Structure 1
Amino acid sequence: MEKTREWVITGADGLDDLLVDELLALGGSEPRRLKGAIAVQGDLAAGYRFCLWSRLASRVLMPLLTVPSGNPDRMFDDALKYPWEQVLRPGATFVIRSAAAKGVSTHTHFAALRLKDAIVDRFRQRTGDRPSIDTENPDLSLHLFIEAQQLTISLDFSGDSLHKRGYRLAQTDAPLKENLASAMLMQAGWPARGEGRLFDPLCGSGTVLIEAALMWADAAPGLPRIHFGFDGWAGHQAELWKTIRDDAVARRLAGLQRPAPRLVGFDADGEALACAHRNAESAGVSQWITLSQRSIAEWRAPALNSVAACLPAEWAADVTGAGQNYSVPGLVATNPPYGERLGDEGSVRYLYRAIGRQLRETLPCWDAVVLAADITHADALGLEHKHTLRLYNGALPIFARHGRILPAEPELPLAFEGSLDDLPEEGMDFANRLQKNLKVSLKLAQQQDVRCFRLYDADLQEYNIAIDVYEGRLQVQEYAPPKTVDPAKAEARFKLALQIIRKVMGLHRDKVFLKVRERQSGKQQYEKQGKAGKFFEVREGQATLLVNLTDYLDTGLFLDHRPMRLRIAAEAAGKHFLNLFAYTGTVSVHAALGDGIHGGAETTTTVDMSATYLGWADRNLALNGLPDSHHRLIQADVMAWLKDERDLYDLIFVDPPTFSNSKRMDSDFDVQRDHGHLLRLSMSRLAPGGTLYFSNNFRKFVLDEALQAKFDVTDISAETIGFDYERDPKIHRCWRFRHRV
């Protein structure tokens, strides 16, 4: 009977519990936790099974010799006495790989050289032959591990790291290790849970899908490997190994006859999907995996029932309501681009919010396991938390969050419930006007599905304020009073207005945000006005957008341009879109998403000279699940950039400031003086048959007649004024430009 010996199995930090369970199932016993490894007892057959079947292990080590640390001569002498001829076959090559425990300072290369000398001298003394070193393809690998008190020499039974299954023919940037993909799936209970349904919406080169397929097929992950570390070991029992491997082959063949699982992967990158397809074919599971090129933004609920979307219609969950019993209809398992692949780390959290929102809308009550580099990103998913593993993907710490996808909460109706009771008599005119505006605006907003709009804009001279609705919040802007008005009276009037606003709207003071609006110039428009740092999400058309009601001159969403944004969304399908003086990129988001009927732009290019606003634009894109590979952000002076740009665009939006003298610009900009040159440069980038929209807010603006002679120009200002700005139709002017045929 084969004797029991100790095995040391290494794995990524954080996998201890899962790895212990796996090793026990494979024939190990008496598990003992070490730093970065698990020691178990087992016979030789168990060691073979660890190499062949472990989905989590990195290496399987067979300890041979332990000596005290800190004495190279003692190590040499003990190693010289060890019967290496029982380990290394005659004529075989070997290599020694050394490592030290954390906090141990030593020269690992010198220790490896001393061990090599001892082994070579042993063979010379016993056989007269000197074994050769091969650092590339050795027959046998020895592992030297140096700790503070002892040094352990082991046979690397597995050879190359076990996470290298052998099926990966192609990979994307920052690929997920195969054993970590398996850990995610095991954490979530796959394949027992999920009923054979698994969705990876950011599948990259397909690692999660392939590991899920191999687990479903009961396929040993080591079957494709050509070489293991024990192949060059003198004690290798080929017949025992063949029996264990033949059993694995039979199990795989039987597993492939099981009812087919439904494994679906999306990715925005076509090259990544090509990698996934090649790898799935290499692993022999491509028949079970369906791939489709789609970004997060493109797996909305209406698309799920179409064949092109790939997600089968029967995947729609039978939602029984939060808190009630349910059976898990499937599993979402994915590894988003969690920071290493995105330039703006601040955008990553909003990407995770987008993933969570889409999951709630498309696959409620499924289970999900998602990787994140930061625990706050995992929290942003909004899952009903079950378990979180802290792992390492290489040197990068990551979190695997497992939880239930909660059903999406029904959208609250846009309504405000207040009263005119107990208001001061001197404020009743304002209160009546506000209530009247509210009644009319809410009706129109609900008819047009508008969530953000202007409610009041200095309708009464003595109440010189603007009130904007951002879903359930208000921003109240006080226009700076003339110097002829007593400041004390102005302050008292403003306080009265706030009292009336909260009463009529039925809002607590924490839902009302205040700002004094003064005329700004130059770079002031880009500077922070406050430090609250509070961003809110609002919906407009197909887009979810970030607004800040306290910190900046503007909120990040120009309400008067809502009709223009929706117009571009309706016209952008399949086009290359250019957004100049882009501010927070809201128009780019609309163009990328489309109107929900025709699809979005193929690419967007967003140009602005403010890093602050481009970062905001990046977060807006991430919040809507739009991949950076299709949506460029460029920090530049628009005029200078246009002179060097050579690409053509099918749809262009130009919305310059009235005046700017930022230091980042080659010269100051005046929209009246410079718009002719700006538009000629912009039109040089417009593709034949394309459309350019030009807008500005300068009330005295006059369009250069020479432009009208050169291009097909139509004033569409009246078409771009929403119901909330009909009282002030001069809020902006807008023209449509096309090349003359």
Structure 2
Amino acid sequence: MEFYASCPQGFESALADELRDLGLPRVRKLKGRVSFAGAPSDAERACLWSRLASRIFVVLKRFTCRDADELYDEVYTMPWEDILRRGSTIAITASGTNGNLRNTRFTALRAKDALCDRLADEVGVRADVDTGRPDARISIALHDDRASLQLDLSGEPLFRRLPREIGRQGGSLALRPDYAALVLAQVAWKPCCDADDAPVLIDPCCADGGILLEAASIAAGRAPGLERTRWGFSCWADHDRAAWDRMRSEARQRAQQAGRAHARIIATDFDAAALARTRRLIKAAGADGIVTFVQPTVEAISAHLGSPSDTHVLAANMCTLRLNDASRASRLIQQLAALAPLRCAPVSALSRDGLLEVALRMRPTADIAIKPNNEDARLVLFDRSHGSTDAGSDAGANTRPNASKRTQAPVETVATVDVGDGSPVAVLVPESDQFAARLKKVARLRRKWAKREGVTCYRVYDADLPDYSAAIDLYEGAPDTPGRWVVVAEYAAPKSIDPSLAQARLLDMLEITPRVLKVDPDHVAARSRTRSRGGSQYATGGGASSGGSARETGRAQTHQNAWEQGAVHIQEGGLTFTANFNSYLDTGIFLDHRVTRDLVRTYAKGCKRFLNLFAYTGTATCYAADGGALSTTTVDLSNTYLDWARRNMAQNGFIGPEHRFVRDDVLAWVAEQRRAHRTWDLIFCDPPTFSNSAKMGERTWDVQRDHVELLCALSGLLAPGGRAIFSCNLRTFRLDERALADVGIAVEDITEQTIPEDFARNKRIHRCFIITNR
């Protein structure tokens, strides 16, 4: 009989190897599928044991099909009474079209009519249709004037093998088992476990648990389909129940024997909360006996490794990591690769960038394009037994079975850049040496300026080289949280730039920057503004922004524990603020407003009432209180940022009922205060460029469109002799002076005097104006 196993694109080679290892004859790799031949028991063995196939089909017939009548006749002539067991419910789907059959629903309906008419004529009973959960799933595929008819022997997809309560532990979905199996196939984890040695798998970013679950199942010798009770072949007349029962019994015995194997899995992650969830997931799956969780350090992992003669492999899913954590995980893998037991250990990872190439100083031996969660990704393999890294390699160490029978490509090392500290930095783009030279120069000049001015947090680099378009900010921690932190925020690259080249340059900047600025690599936070992927390393939570700064896209809102994970104290102007480098789009303080905040403090002397609108983390409120404002009101729509503002005020000693914090839609709140005739002596207003927050109802905010209305409202809130400072970071902003003059509002542009020296390269970072009530 003719069968085929369907699979996602990119799986074909590994699936073909898997089916050959199962002893199936005439295996042939095709696009999105692998065909094979054999008896019904061969197909059922594939259903039971395949970890990579999505479904297993038996081809029932191939025929010429030019129109609906020919389709009906060909399907009707099939002996359905001898193919399907009596009483089986059916569902038929169709794919493909030709000149006469252009609607797949009609094609499926016509085939269904033929099948039911055949059964009615031969056995007197038509088949019942059940599109939800049929016994028999039949598909017809058209290609020009040819058609094929097949029966799905698996029923539900084979990758649906995780119990729901395990696959969705903690509200997050584990990596689909077939994708996890593909990662593990690249490092030959199954042959390693079958060889009865003592293989060790290290997963350095195990947060979703998918690779751990699949690796533990493989080590336990458990057939992936062993616990499934419903199969598509149950309705197939050629299904031999007794032979199937024997096959399952043999699989159970094999699992019992493999259960005594000595395979071990070492797992860690930089996200402590995610690691805790993964522990619960592994325990729920009953795999906690084989998995050891450790801290994400080389020392903790090395304490659990075997000897250099044991088989070690590394596997990771880096697709869901924030860019920052992906960089840290890559550095951890780099450090592990230098350990004696791991110097020849293969590394297999799901990735969306070139971080591992930089870390291992190698080009991947294999690079497969795949789409987990329907998003573009790469599965990269570094088979280090055929090459060496700068960490060195030991000949003959860590040999492993090569199940994939892959012809190894030669290893191509990447370029290096000298940053002047005696140790070269591996990079993806050779021209990154120009960025390194420029960064060294501007960092030296900026450091002298900052020391002279008493500034501890400042911009070091601002797209000085057009090809390396990013802003780099340096933060010095306060005495109670000592250290140095760097934020690298990439500007969106023009459409004419190859995205992969722009990504490579960003990765090079992330490698070079901590070395030049002498910052711990774990203290480098990345903000990428070129890609937007929900739940991925370029998502808003924890690292990379998508589509502009936080003031342009609205304020991020996350939970208290996320805020605490990245909290660091910094100092500015004699005040202490909390910055967060892990959980938000911005750090909690806009450095370009350093001079503006000091201006607020100057104007606050003798001020009775201060108002901060769109207050963010309340830094301007702290300056006003420090300047002498007797009372302050801080307004923002986000509870998260209002809580942050309260902390900033409290840690500077500004507490008490005279300091109010209001969570409200600013525009609605301002209108209410005007109706109540309330006034303030000093107002600071720094609105977002655009907002469509659900908390605003159906209204949206656009600073260019709505600024005249806002400034009129601010003017109405000013006490006699009061001032309002209005700031805007829309680079194309144009103040509508004529409209404001028509309503009698005089506005003074003070932008030039509010741009700090470290932002002088980009004076469009913000616009700033003063409104005075004379």
Q: If the length of structure 2 is used for normalisation, what is the TM-score?
A: 0.56
Alignment deviations for residues 182-240 of structure 1 (CA, whole Å, 9 cap, x no partner) = 11111112144494211222223322112112222222111011111101222221011
Letter in 2 for 1:475: V
Match of 1:396 among 375, 394, 419: 375
Q: CA 1:126 to 1:359, structure 2 compared with 1: closer, same or farther past 3 Å?
A: same
Residue 210 (structure 1) aligns with: 213
Q: SS in structure 2 opposite 1:370?
A: strand
State the alpha-carbon separation in 2 of the partners of residues 683 and 244 from structure 1. 61
CA distance in 2, matches of 1:102, 1:332: 48
Which of 624, 633, 651 is 1:677 aligned to?
624
**Would you say the 8 A contact 2:92–2:140 is kept in 1?**
yes
Q: Equivalent residue for 1:355? A: 329
Q: Distance in 1 between matches of 2:175 and 2:643?
A: 45
Contact 2:89 2:128 in 1 (8 A): yes
1:294-693, aligned counterparts within 5 Å?
299-301=296-298, 304-305=299-300, 311=301, 313-315=303-305, 329-338=311-320, 348=323, 351-364=325-338, 365=343, 366-374=345-353, 376-377=354-355, 379-382=357-360, 384=362, 385-393=364-372, 395-403=374-382, 404=384, 406=389, 473-475=440-442, 530-534=464-468, 556-557=473-474, 562=476, 565=477, 567-570=479-482, 615=528, 652-653=569-570, 655=572, 670=600, 672-673=602-603, 676-677=623-624, 685-687=645-647, 691-692=651-652
**What's the counterpart of residue 110 of structure 1?**
106
Q: Work out whether residues 182 and 208 of structure 1, in 8 Å CA contact, stay in contact via their aligned partners in 2.
A: yes
2:89 equivalent among 84, 88, 93: 93
Among 136, 145, 152, the residue aligned to 2:148: 152
Could you tell me which residue of structure 2 aligns to residue 285 of structure 1? 287
Q: Give the Å deviation of 1:98.
A: 2.7
SS at match of 1:65: strand
The 5 A counterparts of 1:659-738 are 670=600, 672-673=602-603, 676-677=623-624, 685-687=645-647, 691-692=651-652
Say whether residues 1:140 and 2:136 are aligned partners. Answer: yes
In 2, Cα distance between equivalents of 1:661 and 1:271:
32
Counterpart of 2:247, as a letter, is I
Separation of aligned partners in 2, 1:356 and 1:566: 29
> Matched residues in 2 for 1:102 and 1:17: separation?
30
Asked whether the equivalents of residues 175 and 205 of structure 1 are also in contact (C-alpha less than 8 Å), the reply is yes
Q: What secondary structure sits across from 2:154 in the alignment?
A: coil
Alpha-carbon distance, 1:15 to partner: 1.9
Question: Distance in 1 between the 2:442 and 2:179 partners?
Answer: 47
Provide the residue aligned with 1:162 in structure 2: 158
The Cα of 1:178 is off from its aligned counterpart by: 0.9
Q: 1:56/1:102 Cα in 2 relative to 1: closer, same or farther (>3 Å)?
A: farther
Contact 2:461-2:473 within 8 A present in 1 as well: no
CA distance in 1, matches of 2:275, 2:147: 44
Q: Contact 1:654–1:692 (CA<8 Å) still a contact in 2?
A: no
Pick closer, same or farther for the CA change 1:105–1:635 going to 2, 3 Å.
Answer: farther
- SS of 2:380's partner is strand
CA distance in 2, matches of 1:239, 1:476: 76
TM-aligned CA distance change 1:249 to 1:101, over 3 Å = farther
* Superimposed CA distance per residue, residues 353-400 of structure 1 (whole angstroms, 9 cap, x where no aligned partner): 4322121223432321111235x4553443533322233325333221
Measure the CA separation in 1 of the matches of 2:112 and 2:33. Answer: 25
- Cα distance change of structure 1 residues 667 and 44 upon mapping to structure 2, 3 Å threshold: same
Work out which of the residue numbers 204, 214, 223 in structure 2 matches 1:201.
Answer: 204
Counterpart Cα distance in 2 of 1:412 and 1:568:
35
Paired position in structure 2 for 1:187: 186
Other-structure match for 1:433:
none
CA displacement at 1:686 relative to structure 2: 4.9
Separation in 1, partners of 2:47, 2:176: 17
Partner Cα separation in structure 1 for residue 560 and residue 121 of structure 2: 74
Gap change, CA 1:641 and 1:53, over 3 Å in 2: closer
**Which runs of 5 or more structure 1 residues have no equivalent in the other structure?**
306-310, 319-326, 343-347, 418-468, 480-512, 536-547, 573-578, 607-612, 695-730, 733-741
What letter is aligned with 1:57?
A
Relative to structure 1, is the Cα distance of residues 238 and 641 closer, same or farther in structure 2, using a 3 angstrom cutoff?
closer
Instruction: Give the Cα separation in 2 of the matches to 1:569 and 1:626.
Output: 28
- For 1:82 and 1:416, locate their aligned partners in 2 and report how far apart those are by CA, in whole Å: 77
Secondary structure of the 1:399 match is strand
CA-CA distance at 1:286 after TM superposition? 2.9
Q: Using the alignment, how far apart are the partners of 1:641 and 1:37 within structure 2?
A: 46
Residue 372 and residue 570 in structure 1: after superposition, are their counterparts in 2 closer, same or farther (change >3 A)? same
Letter of the 2:204 counterpart = P
What's the CA shift for 1:272?
A: 6.9
| Letter in structure 2 aligned against 1:655 | E
Unaligned 5+ segments in structure 2 are: 393-415, 423-435, 491-509, 576-588, 605-621, 627-631, 635-641, 655-756, 759-774
TM-score (norm 1): 0.58
- Number of equivalent positions: 516
Quick one: structure 1 residues 527 and 182, their matched pair in 2 at CA, closer, same or farther if it must change by over 3 Å? closer
Q: Quick check: 2:442–2:460 contact (8 Å CA) kept in 1? A: no
| Identical counterparts, % of pairs | 20
CA RMSD between the two structures:
5.4
Structure 2 residue 264 is matched with structure 1 residue 261: yes
